[in-house]
Amino acid sequence: METYALYGISGTGKSTIALKLAHQLGISAIIDDGILIYQGRKLAGASAKYEKTKIQAVKRAIFLDPNHAEEVRQALANLNTERLLILGTSLKMIGRIVQALHLPQPVELIPIESVKPPQDIEAARYVRETMGRHAIPIPRVEVEKDFLHRLLFSAQRIFSSKRDATGETTIVHPPFSGGRIFIHPQVMRKVVQATCERLGYVERILKSNASFDDLPRLELTLALALPMGTNLPRKVHALQEELYKEVGYCLNIAPASIDVQIGSIRFTDQT
């Protein structure tokens, strides 16, 4: 059996891209957070995402319980699959899983940065850190069979290039994920106002809207005061860059988009 490992720190979206990656590499079985998934269906094991504490979740994910490890080892032996994909937060974790399940070496290592753009990783981390959402690459109905009373947020179907369903990803809210972070829109408006005042050429903020429903997004309508002949796109781009840095510094989040509309321009003297 060929063994692959997708690794990256927690919250970078490994589970949400696992099915797509498995389809690309011709992999039919996945090990993720204590579960053996075969062709998009749970085959054996128990999810670490439903443990009550982070310590218990880690122990479950690395198969520290001998009975848990034996159940998955036996299922793999009966499955006789040619390729297996392991998901883990670090190379050390991958090593512990390989050892616990007696998997063959060598393991082909795949860092999350090689298969997911930086902006998508930032967006995934924002959702994890502010909303506590975790993904399990199995269908929603499978999760509901085992955890009928758990809170499920959504299920997203991933399709192959031939439009055949290769599996589903279910979004859950684990008990150990903690509370939800709430950022009041007024806080974002204050950050926007301070940044615009510092740049000097924003005369007025005509409209400011911040959305945190899915990913953090900014929509601004501005009145500018600029000398005749100023490169307007360059000025707007500079404003977007300053806002991106300031929001990251003040709130520790990366806006997915900063849309700027110019409501009016007042031309000033060159001097």
The pLDDT tens digits of the residues spanning 44-56 come to: 888 777 677 778 8
Please state which of the ranges 17-31, 129-143, 160-174 shows the lowest mean pLDDT.
160-174
Predicted confidence band at 234 (pLDDT cuts at 50, 70, 90)? very high
The pLDDT tens digits of the residues spanning 183-233 come to: 777 788 888 889 998 888 999 999 988 887 666 788 999 999 999 888 999
Domains located in the chain, CATH noted: 2-177 (no CATH), 185-268 (3.30.70.1350)
Three-class SS of the chain: CEEEEEECCCCCCHHHHHHHHHHHHCCCEEEECCEEEECCEEEEECCHHHCCCHHHHHHHHCCCCHHHHHHHHHHHHHHCCCEEEEEECCHHHHHHHHHHCCCCCCEEEEEHHHCCCHHHHHHHHHHHHHHCCEEECCCHHHHHHHCCCCCEEEEEEEECCCCCEEEEEEEECCHHHCCCCCCCHHHHHHHHHHHHHHHCCEEEEEEEEEECCCCCEEEEEEEEEEECCCCHHHHHHHHHHHHHHHHHHHHCCCCCEEEEEEEEEEEECCC
Predicted confidence band at 142 (pLDDT cuts at 50, 70, 90)? very low
Predicted confidence band at 155 (pLDDT cuts at 50, 70, 90)? very low
Q: Taking all residues of the chain, what is their mean pLDDT, rounded to a whole number? A: 77
Which of 79-83, 159-163, 196-200 reaches the highest mean pLDDT?
196-200
Whether residue 153 is predicted with pLDDT greater than 70 in this model: the reply is: no
The pLDDT tens digits of the residues spanning 88-123 come to: 989 999 999 999 999 988 899 999 888 887 777 776
